[in-house]
Amino acid sequence: MSEKKIASARITESSSQLLQELNNSLPFDKVLYREDIEGSRAHAYMLAEQKIISKEDYAQIERGLVEIYEEVESGEFLLDGDDEDIHMAIEGRLTDKIGDAGKRLHTARSRNDQVALDFRLYVQKNTQKISDLLLLNIETLLKVAKENTETLLPGMTHLQHAQPINFAFHMMAYVSMFKRDYERFTSSYERNNYSPIGCAALAGTPHPVNRRITSEKLGFKAPTLNCLDTVSDRDFALEILFNISTMMMHMSRLSEELILWSASEFKFVQLSDKHATGSSIMPQKKNPDIPELLRGKTGRVNGNLVALLTVMKGLPLAYNKDMQEDKEGVFDSVRTALLSLEVLNEMIDEMTVNVENMNKACMIGHLSATDLADYLVKKVGIPFRDAYHITGNVVNVAEDKGVDISELTLDELQSIDNRISVDVVELLDNRASMNARTSEGGTSTVRTKEQIESLVSWLKTQK
């Protein structure tokens, strides 16, 4: 390994093997080759437009960069050399190919604005990919919801049976979370859609650059405002990490429910064989490894977020080499998010909903007890606290008889409180109870359908 691979004009001794091992980011930042080439092409174009380099040099640089791109894509240029990072590797290759013109590419540019650009382009592209996959998941969940607006299941608090709801309503809770996630990604995209290139090392450049040209060519809204901030800023990376963590936290909660619902105690859903694995010793087992992994990977992406927050928290302006630590966590979280979203979508699409078992579970736990208390308040005029106690007595009687309160006869109910009349019987039915919750955003089938329709039309506006 020779010292010329480390970017320096004033270091004369060759750098130690250990320094290079610690310092070199090529092994991981090589994934930025597309963005680096795209950024360099735009920068060279601007330099020529501004007459900072000649048209001839630009033509050579452009041709050289396109060739390098093809060489990387075809595997001819492996990016496994001892260059310090992706920027040096590509610039070095360019100069090997085209000579002096290649050496002019870095005019009016520093690796500080170059890496800020490459990384931002990477984050922006992947923000869009994640957003698209979120929409796909929302679409799939909406499909499951549409099929299950009448499917009763016990709604829970404290993981205890609480009130009857329908499965579509439950799915729509997750759709609401993923919609917020989508909105977080798109708003981050907008907030960060400004071009860093042309900021040079930290203070701008005396060359007559035109940052609007590069910004427009690269698809940004405008150049960033302040160069010192721009080369120090990794908020865009932190935002994608936070957005991924929040999204994965939602996915993890859904996964946790899928794991529970797959257990023999529930059997509410059955994951397709494609998404389950066996045990090496227990031949009868079918394990929900996929949702378990999605739940587990949430820990990993949270770690990446905390790591970068910690790297950034004490850094003086502007660039510090600590910031090279920004990339691996983001690459990892992005890879994890993309794969997880694809897997989740397939798993939800192919899972079987056991309507019967969900329904049966509603007969455990006296789910319509609140309806009885509400009836005594609304129809009989009993103060809620008293109604609450009467209902408690009814529940005790049902427990003694080993039935659900919806199975008690009118006689049995009236022997507890004679103000209870015949209309109570149908009210205690679980479906009636679910459908009674007609307040806006409530679980009744009518209100659930309203929620589905609202998000179906929202989805249309996003595509």
Distance CA 160, CA 104 (A): 69
If the CB atoms of residues 18 and 422 are measured against ligand ARG, the closer one turns out to be: 18
If the CB atoms of residues 168 and 323 are measured against ligand ARG, the closer one turns out to be: 323
Binders of ligand ARG in range 26-65 (CB under 6 A): 29
Q: Are 404 and 393 in contact (CB under 8 A)?
A: no
Report whether the peptide linkage leading into residue 318 is cis, meaning its omega lies within 30 degrees of zero.
Answer: yes
User: How many residues sit close enough to ligand ARG to count as binding (CB under 6 A)?
Assistant: 10
> Can you count the helices (H) and strands (E) in the chain?
20, 6
Report the nearest approach of ligand ARG to the CB of residue 211 (Å).
19
Catalytic annotation on 170? no
Distance CA 248, CA 254 (A): 10
Report the nearest approach of ligand ARG to the CB of residue 19 (Å).
13
Q: Is 115 in the site for ligand ARG (CB under 6 A)?
A: yes
Site string for ligand ARG, 71-100 (x = CB under 6 A): --------------x---------------
Catalytic annotation on 195? no
Q: DSSP assignment of 101-164, as one string?
A: HHHTTTTT--HHHHHHHHHHHHHHHHHHHHHHHHHHHHHHHHHHHHHTTT-EEEEEETTEEEEE
Q: Using CB under 6 A, pick the residue from 111, 161, 250, 275 that binds ligand ARG.
A: 111
Q: Are 75 and 15 in contact (CB under 8 A)?
A: no
Burial of 230 (0-12, 13-18, 19+ CB in 10 A): buried
If the CB atoms of residues 111 and 120 are measured against ligand ARG, the closer one turns out to be: 111
If the CB atoms of residues 324 and 391 are measured against ligand ARG, the closer one turns out to be: 324
Catalytic residue among 2, 74, 158, 264: 158
Catalytic residue among 54, 187, 272, 279: 279
Q: Is 319 in the site for ligand ARG (CB under 6 A)?
A: yes
Q: Using CB under 6 A, pick the residue from 5, 6, 25, 57 that binds ligand ARG.
A: 25
Using H for helix, E for strand and C for coil, what is the string for 1-19? CCHHHCCCCCCCCCCCHHH
Q: Which range, of 180-188, 318-326, 330-338, 375-383, touches ligand ARG by CB under 6 A?
A: 318-326
Report the nearest approach of ligand ARG to the CB of residue 51 (Å).
27
Backbone Cα Rg of the chain: 30
If the CB atoms of residues 114 and 148 are measured against ligand ARG, the closer one turns out to be: 114
Q: Is 323 in the site for ligand ARG (CB under 6 A)?
A: yes
Q: DSSP assignment of 323-381, as one string?
A: GGGGHHHHHHHHHHHHHHHHHHHHHHHHPEE-HHHHHHHTTTTTTTHHHHHHHHHHTT-
Active site residues: 158, 279
**Contact positions vs ligand ARG (CB under 6 A):** 25, 29, 85, 111-112, 115, 319, 321, 323-324
